[in-house]
Amino acid sequence: MLASSNFTLTEAWLILGVARSAESDPIMKGSGMAGNNFVKIYRDALDCWLKKRLTGSEWTVLMYLASQTWGWHRASTKKSLAEIANEIGSTRKQVLRAIKGLEKAGLVMFEGEERRKHVFKLRPPEEYTEFEAKLVT
């Protein structure tokens, strides 16, 4: 789990498991991360996320939601807070706090509830360039 957001861009790429060629990269060779065992993180999104001061819990929840949406080529995911907490090894209270922080930062949108499960959506990749421009001005 990520305890802090104080890491370099190279470390972030490794943590996120950004797609690499297992044959040409000694770090990936024999690591079990070859094939489709990764989540594609869009560069504009990653650049924006790295500029935010996210807590470790926020990073963990954000990566989990990215894996459950972009990792499955979906726009949103339906999960209960308890499900997320169990999956990432956290408490429901920490997950709720992290999601509130991500919503406040404009990175995650809550789209209602269906059968006791919350519908979460990440900011679409094509919006990050425009969103980041608003942060600068």
Q: What is the pLDDT of residue 16?
A: 52
Domains of the chain with CATH codes: 42-136 (1.10.10.10)
Give the max Cα distance, the chain.
Answer: 46
Q: What is the pLDDT of residue 122?
A: 86
pLDDT band at 18 (very low <50, low <70, confident <90, very high): very low
Q: What is the pLDDT of residue 35?
A: 54
**Calpha distance 131→108 (Å, rounded):** 13
Q: What is the pLDDT of residue 20?
A: 43
**Calpha distance 71→135 (Å, rounded):** 26
Residues 30-45 have pLDDT tens digits of: 444 445 677 888 888 8
Closest CA to 45 of 33, 29, 60, 62: 62
Q: What is the pLDDT of residue 73?
A: 86
Q: What is the pLDDT of residue 39?
A: 80
